[in-house]
Chains A and B, each alone.
Chain A
Amino acid sequence: MNFPAAHLEKLAKLVDSVYNGAVSSEIVQADTKIPVLKINSRDIRKVVELVVHHKDLGFTYLNTISGTHLAETREDESLDLKGFEMFYVFSNSQDFSSLAIKTTLPENNPEIDTIDDFSGSANWFEREIFDLLGVNFKNSQDLRRIMLPPDWEGHPLRKDFKEGSHYNGIPTTRSSELEAIRIE
C-alpha cells in the first residue's frame, strides 16, 4: 500500500516542528511506492525515534538496513557523493505502508549511531554492513562480523577491496585449469 499522501506532506514538516529545525530533512522521492526521507547522518537516532514512536507515523517494523559504497561521482545528483549511502526501510504494521530513510556517510572513517535499541533486528543488519562495508556503528550492543570469519582482513564490498594471495594457507586463485581426464 502506498504511503498516505496526507502523512507524506506532513512528514518533513513534522520532523522540523518536533525538533524545532535542529534536524534537517527532505522528501527526495515522493512518487515512488516507498518515499525516501533524506537526512543528515548525525540525526539518525532522532528521526528513527520519531518515525517509530510518533502517534501519526508508527513505523514500528524495521524491514532492512542497506549500505552501498559509491566509488565515483555519478551524473544523478542524488548520488553525487564518494562515500557510503545508507537506507533504513521501516514499515507500518497497521496499514502496511513503508518509508525509507536515506543518509550518506563520508569515504574516510564512516560511522553512524546505532539504532539497535529501537528494533532488535537492527543489530544483525548493522553487523552485516560492518562486516562487508566497514561502517562503524557507534554504541552498538554487539558489533562483530556476522558472515565472514573473525580473522578476515578488510571489507569485501568496498570498491577498493584487494584480495590477498592466500587465506589461512589456501590460495585464492587457481594455479592451473582443470584438465578433463576420463578414467576407463
Chain B
Amino acid sequence: MSLYHEMPENIFVTSVDQLLGWSRKHSLWWLLFGLACCSIELMHTGGPRADIERFGSAPRGTPRQADLIIIAGTLTYKMASRLKLLYEQMAEPKYVISMGSCSNCGGLFDKAYSVVKGVDQIMPVDVYLPGCPPRPEALLEALVILQKKIQKEKYLRK
C-alpha cells in the first residue's frame, strides 16, 4: 500500500510552488482598460461566448486590484503617461498583454506623429498578441500562454 492509498478522500499531495502557481494563474484579475477597436474584442472576450471568466480572469475597475493589464488598442503619446501611471499603481506581481498590432509596434500607425511605436517602449510586456484586431479566441490563448508562464514561476524563491 502506498501513501496515496492510505490517505482519506479530498487530500492531494503537491509542492508549494505548484500550488501557488496554480492558484495565481487561475485568479488573474485584469484591469478594465480599452484604447481603441481592440477593446471591442476585449469586451467580446468577456461576453458569454468566449467568457474569459471561466479561466478565473475577472475584470476589475481599479489598478489596485488588478494583476494583469491588457493594452487593447492604439497608444498615443498623450495617453502614454496615463497608462504608465496605471501600470505603476498595480501591485506586484503584475503582467502585461499587448493586444493587437498597434500596441505591439504601432501597427497601422507606424508613420503617425502621435502614436507610440509599441507599448514595450514604456513598460515590459509578457505576451505580444498579433492581429488587427485579434479574435476573442486569440486573446484567450494569450491568457493561457500567460498562465503557463505564471505556473512555471518560482514565486517564493528569490
Q: Residues of A at under 8 Å CB distance from B?
A: 147-149, 156, 161, 163, 167-168, 170-174, 177-178, 180-181, 183
Q: Determine whether the beta carbon of A174 is less than 8 Å from that of B105.
A: yes
A161 to B111, CA, bound (A): 13
A20 to B124, CA, bound (A): 68
Q: Determine whether the beta carbon of B122 is less than 8 Å from that of A170.
A: yes
* Chain B residues with CB under 8 A of A163: 113
Q: Determine whether the beta carbon of B80 is less than 8 Å from that of A168.
A: yes
* B22 at interface by CB-CB < 8 Å: no
User: Considering the complex, which residues of chain B in the window 118-158 have a beta carbon less than 8 Å from any beta carbon of chain A?
Assistant: 118, 121-122, 127-128, 130, 145, 148-149
Closest beta carbon of chain A to B132's beta carbon, Å = 14
Q: Determine whether the beta carbon of A168 is less than 8 Å from that of B77.
A: yes
For B145, give its contact among A149, A167, A177, A183 (CB under 8 Å). A183
With A156-B114, A163-B113, A183-B148 given, is the CB distance from A174 to B81 under 8 Å?
A: no
Closest beta carbon of chain A to B33's beta carbon, Å = 19
Given contacts A149-B78, A183-B145, could you give 19 more A-B pairs where the C-beta distance is less than 8 Å? A148-B114, A149-B77, A156-B114, A167-B77, A168-B77, A168-B80, A170-B77, A170-B116, A170-B121, A170-B122, A171-B121, A172-B117, A174-B117, A174-B121, A177-B105, A178-B105, A178-B128, A180-B130, A181-B128
A167 to B117, CA, bound (A): 11
**Interchain Cβ contacts within 8 Å, total number:** 38
Closest beta carbon of chain A to B34's beta carbon, Å = 19
15 A–B contacts, CB within 8 A, in A order = A148-B114, A167-B77, A168-B81, A170-B77, A170-B80, A170-B116, A171-B121, A172-B117, A174-B117, A174-B121, A177-B105, A178-B128, A181-B128, A183-B145, A183-B148
Q: Determine whether the beta carbon of A171 is less than 8 Å from that of B117.
A: yes
- Against A, the Cβ 8 Å flags (1 = close, 0 = not) of B50-82 are 000000000000000000000000000110110
In order of increasing CB-CB distance, the 4 nearest A-B pairs are A156-B113, A174-B117, A149-B78, A167-B77
Closest beta carbon of chain A to B122's beta carbon, Å = 6
* Chain A residues with CB under 8 A of B21: none
Q: Determine whether the beta carbon of B117 is less than 8 Å from that of A173.
A: yes
